Structure 1
């Protein structure tokens, strides 16, 4: 007998978003009315305000509510059972805060580790990617995914395949995240690309100096700048994104990378060119670009 397929459990913010949506559909909150304050919702469900913010973001992207900074959350329409599949898809997504939080925790440590482990070839490849992005910005070329390539090559510079695979998985998650894609539209302008370029140049300089803490700080600040980008979004999503991204968590700073003697790579370098990681990437275009850099 075949085993029954158990659907994946919903995340807390999805459950809360669905419940609020159901209450709106049932008429508890008519069009034009204001939802309870964020703090009240958090206390009602016994969750953090961050989870509530992501639930409200989900509803805003569905067009159900409008979040007005300094005023509150207002019902814009009554949701129906036959709403589009696209709107329903938004309720099964990983939130932008979770993505940024995971990246800030992981990639700052990766940058610190790479400052110890990167080879000259790694640093040269990162430099070529930055130069390629400079040319792409000058030509207003948006087809090249130099941001992804830079972060993957940086992860590879740790000489740890598990770290590389983990970063790749995060980027694949961002690709499949409607909520993240809504936000990403706003940070792909020329002005923001120039900002991200400067951030990566700062990081590259730290790697060249073998400055472990400098590399950690450069990556941490880069992702802080991504959070700041939320505040300049011109559409109706910024208030929620601002609330989400401005929420700070306490992260570990006095970690293993503070002690140079403790920074050791237990992973054995694979044979051949470590940068040829196409088998892990599952991204033919990115792998082709990387091979081009290797041959240069």
Structure 2
């Protein structure tokens, strides 16, 4: 009998975000209303304000709320209660290298586009996420998912909701993929986290310069580094190994399409 897959445990910011989303769906906070201050939400759930900020940022990326500096967090729309994309994606049989190939093709071009479109607020949010990861690495804190947050905020910096939704769906697929989770457990060490941190600092530097090709190359190289790390950790003789699907050479040499 085939064993049912159990979805991975949610991060604190995901649980808080889902709870706030449910309250909005239930009508506790109608469109136009303001959510409680970060401090109050943090006290209610017994977490840090950093975790609350991550939860609110996800809701903002989804278009549910609008974070207005110095004013508060306002509800923009009521999300559809019937949204059930997660269940569909958890049942997908895409392999980890197939997922990574899709990310490299898509996110490299998103990074290039974001180099043109990112606002000062987007750049500041990306910088804060990198600073959070630096502190997390220093204290060996693995409770924050700064990697996912960085890529989602970067996709949001394209100012294109369809691109953001596509990246969100890819990460949802990764969260529910057992092989990816197995690989991720190996590459979550301090050494790897420092390596990914350096990659993201290069991506952010290119965005700050409005360097379109530099952003494209920095993202491509980051995901190439992830791919090489996964290849080193993989058993190429395993029946579910899909690394042969991955093409390392960029399709558009020296040119962003």
**Matching residue of 2:125:** 125
**Matching residue of 2:236:** 239
**Matching residue of 1:223:** 223
**Matching residue of 2:173:** 173
Is the contact made by 1:95 and 1:179 (CA closer than 8 Å) also made in structure 2? yes
TM-score by length of 1: 0.53
**Matching residue of 1:252:** 251
TM-score by length of 2: 0.61
Q: Give CA deviations for 1:141-172 in whole Å, capped at 9, x if unaligned.
A: 10100011100100010110111111001001
Change (3 A) 1:254 1:141: same
SS at 2:236 equivalent: helix
Is the contact made by 1:230 and 1:238 (CA closer than 8 Å) also made in structure 2? no
Change (3 A) 1:121 1:220: same
Change (3 A) 1:84 1:108: same
Cα separation, 2, equivalents of 1:245 and 1:135: 37
Q: Give CA deviations for 1:81-136 in whole Å, capped at 9, x if unaligned.
A: x454459xx99621012101100000000000000001111111100000000000
Change (3 A) 1:224 1:240: farther
Cα separation, 2, equivalents of 1:141 and 1:167: 25
SS at 1:239 equivalent: coil
SS at 1:253 equivalent: coil
Cα separation, 1, equivalents of 2:134 and 2:5: 35
Q: Give CA deviations for 1:224-272 in whole Å, capped at 9, x if unaligned.
A: 0001112443xxx4435887168426643269846xxxxxxxxxxxxxx
Cα separation, 2, equivalents of 1:250 and 1:201: 23
SS at 2:247 equivalent: coil
Is the contact made by 2:104 and 2:219 (CA closer than 8 Å) also made in structure 1? yes
Is the contact made by 1:137 and 1:190 (CA closer than 8 Å) also made in structure 2? yes
Cα separation, 2, equivalents of 1:148 and 1:92: 20
Change (3 A) 1:248 1:167: same
Structure (1 or 2) with the larger CA radius of gyration: 1
SS at 1:164 equivalent: helix
Aligned length in residues:
172
Cα separation, 2, equivalents of 1:86 and 1:257: 39
